[in-house]
Amino acid sequence: MRCSEMFAPTLREVPAEAEVVSHQLMLRAGMMRKAASGMYTYMPLAWRVLKKIMQIIREEMDATGGQELLLPIVQPAEIWRETGRWNVYGEEMFRLKDRHGREFCLGPTHEEIITALVKGDVRSYRQLPLLLYQIQDKFRDEIRPRFGLMRGREFIMKDLYSFDRDEEGLERTYKKMYAAYTRIFRRCGLHFRPVEADSGAIGGSATHEFMVIADSGEAAIVYCLNCDYAANTEKAECLSPEHAAANLLALEEVATPGQRTIDEVAKFLHVGPERCLKTLFYAADDKVVGVIVRGDHEVNEIKLQNYLACVHLALAAPETVQALTGAPTGYAGPVGLKNVTLLADYAAAAVQNGICGANREHAHLMNVNSGRDYEPRAILDLRLITTHDPCPRCGGEVKFARGIEVGQVFKLGTKYSKALDCSFLDEKGQEKPIVMGCYGIGVSRTMAAAIEQNSDANGIVWPVPIAPFHVIVVPVSVKDSAQMDMAEQIYRTLQEAGLETAIDDRDERPGVKFKDADLIGYPVRVTVGNKAVAEGTVEVKVRRTGAEFKYALDDYVRQIKELLGNLSDS
RNA sequence: CGGGACGUAGCGCAGCUUGGUAGCGCACCUCGCUUGGGACGAGGGGGCCGCAGGUUCAAAUCCUGUCGUCCCGACCA
């Protein structure tokens, strides 16, 4: 590729709209432009990267027995109504009507339509297992698109759906896909971690997310320093603490004028926040529930929602709290509360002689004990894990990290096959629902995640396997025919050797070309200037390390290949 | 959906308070000069100031509405 012909308009300045580094650099490197909020055009350089990522995915999916197909983007409402998700998906789904007034959506995911397909054409256990996948654009009308490709409204996704005859089959498929995902992200050159996750709206049982570790990630994960446990904090289990016997003191009301928050109350009464009980009220669909956690803990709404099996969950309005407790927010407590279901977190119920709101303004209760002073409907794990918690597997120390979710593997079970009546006949002629799994990879997000993880002050530092080109040849002056002849010669030779090579034949000053090369992130740069011509050597600079080498004319191809190989391994 | 901010040339911005018909840097075009990390000189092209109303002799500037974009939030009483 000749840079003089390449459509990759680079920008010196950072567009004001870009916040995260991947977004800034892709705009600056001339890789993408915005069409609308959350919707982007992928320009040639980005498309080369995306094709490489997709190629890696295809190879690994095919190796696992997957077969690629292409499903419609526009899907009829009918099949979504059958699974109940036409309503569950809510505002996040792009909806449209055809000229006859029939309803459709732009596919946010494809479980429905693929299940409908398989239902029509799979009859026998002999046709199972079946692994079908597709790579294409998906649409989700995010509340708030942000961070460029990280959370777009149109994005490229790979989805594989598996159809097995039973749970054992699903388990085998799941393990194969998990292994394939590990290979895919490793091949992309990413630093990542699979974590246990919550299955969320899609439903199903076991699920893992593949997280690219990056501080800009939207997801918080927790991992154990001792064993290989790692989980999304939404999912991470908190163990029930050991119950220690203690002297239960008499309940006592104290005046706490103007002290509303846990911090204020704890400081005012000279106790740690772990002695306090935080009582929150949630509106769960059309009911209200009270949730008690320790003062230094936070409610995990995912766990709460899963327990309640509700569709909508949000903190109750202050007026609701006032009506239930008879006090303004800040003075709520479980003691004496009627007419509301109370749930307590393990750690909260274990607090002895604790402190909580008295359900009267400017007053709190001391020496509150679960079982004596209040009786929750249930005591369970309802909070977010902290770094003070032990690893739920081995008891070791846990740490937090942030991650970008680039892939997720799900055991769906029979949720969709039952809803859509997708079944097969086994050897005995018995009809059974197909057991499903689904496995997604955010392709465009993976590209962004790769940049989040691989950039410096000068621009992108592509991992070799997904770099748009391997090598850029930069003649210092295109007006110098000796330089140009040598550059062209090297360019042709590298191409013939199978390396994806670009030559910056633009009539620009060398500084401009070097800056652009760094920005775009070619892993290896060959500079052809007077020195190279005079010495008859090939000057090579490695983008990632900045290391420079001089190679002999009869050996540089091998050397560059070796360099690229070493870069891929690290 | 709530809060904040912003829409002026491809990009980054000034001008708006104190209305008088638009400017700077980069990019782009031409010529010269230059060529090892975003040169320099000269000349040039490009904007109905997001859009629609209103006020006014006159609106980028004031008012109203609307659309778009970005950030924070939609959570811990």
Strand B nucleotides in reach of protein CB atoms, 7 A cut-off: 1, 11-13, 25-27, 34-39, 68-77
Check if residue A293 sits with its Cβ under 7 angstroms from strand B. yes
A29 nearest nucleotide via C1' and CA: B11
Determine the distance between A317 (CA) and B2 (C1') in angstroms.
14
- Residue burial A288-327, b: 16+ Cβ < 10 Å; e: rest: bbbbbbbbbbbbbbbbbbbbbebeebeebeeebbbebbeb
Within a domain: A391: no
CATH number at residue A159: 3.30.930.10
For A336-355, what is each residue's pLDDT tens digit? 888 888 999 999 999 999 99
pLDDT for the residue A200? 63
Report the share of chain A in percent with pLDDT over 90.
68
Total number of domains in chain A: 3
Determine the distance between A511 (CA) and B34 (C1') in angstroms.
13
pLDDT at A203 over 60: no
For A124-133, what is each residue's pLDDT tens digit? 999 999 999 9
Asked if A193 and A223 sit in the same domain, the reply is yes
CATH number at residue A494: 3.40.50.800
pLDDT at A464 over 60: yes
As to burial, measured by CB atoms within 10 angstroms (0-12 exposed, 13-18 middle, 19+ buried), residue A516 is: buried
Asked if A198 and A259 sit in the same domain, the reply is no
Among A142-156, A314-328, A544-558, the minimum mean pLDDT is found in A314-328
Check if residue A343 sits with its Cβ under 7 angstroms from strand B. no
pLDDT at A517 over 90: yes
Check if residue A299 sits with its Cβ under 7 angstroms from strand B. yes
Determine the distance between A167 (CA) and B6 (C1') in angstroms.
54
Q: What is the mean pLDDT of chain A?
A: 91
Check if residue A280 sits with its Cβ under 7 angstroms from strand B. yes
Q: How confident is the model at residue A508 (pLDDT cuts 50, 70, 90)?
A: very high
Asked if A430 and A319 sit in the same domain, the reply is no
Please tell me the distance from the alpha carbon of residue A66 to that of residue A64, in angstroms, as a whole number: 6
pLDDT at A154 over 80: yes
Which range marks the domain in which residue A213 is found? 21-237+400-452
Within a domain: A389: no
A530 nearest nucleotide via C1' and CA: B36
Asked if A232 and A259 sit in the same domain, the reply is no
Asked if A194 and A126 sit in the same domain, the reply is yes
Take residue A569 and report the two structure tokens written for it.
Answer: 């391994």
Among A175-184, A211-220, A475-484, the minimum mean pLDDT is found in A211-220
Using the C1' atom of nucleotide B72, identify the protein residue whose alpha carbon is closest.
A144
Check if residue A37 sits with its Cβ under 7 angstroms from strand B. yes
Determine the distance between A218 (CA) and B11 (C1') in angstroms.
29
Asked if A123 and A168 sit in the same domain, the reply is yes
Mean of pLDDT values over A535-546:
97
A298 nearest nucleotide via C1' and CA: B76
Mean of pLDDT values over A270-278:
90
Within a domain: A395: no
Asked if A428 and A307 sit in the same domain, the reply is no
pLDDT for the residue A36? 87
Looking up tokens 């104290």 gives A254
pLDDT for the residue A201? 54
A34 nearest nucleotide via C1' and CA: B69
Determine the distance between A17 (CA) and B55 (C1') in angstroms.
34
pLDDT at A170 over 70: yes
Please tell me the distance from the alpha carbon of residue A75 to that of residue A130, in angstroms, as a whole number: 22
Q: Which residue has the higher pLDDT, A245 or A255?
A: A255
For A88-126, what is each residue's pLDDT tens digit? 777 788 988 888 999 999 999 998 899 889 999 999 999
For A353-387, what is each residue's pLDDT tens digit? 999 999 988 999 999 999 889 999 999 999 989 88
Asked if A418 and A368 sit in the same domain, the reply is no
H/E stretch holding A418 reads: helix A415-419
Asked if A154 and A177 sit in the same domain, the reply is yes
Asked if A371 and A432 sit in the same domain, the reply is no
pLDDT at A570 over 70: no
Within a domain: A97: yes
Asked if A261 and A136 sit in the same domain, the reply is no
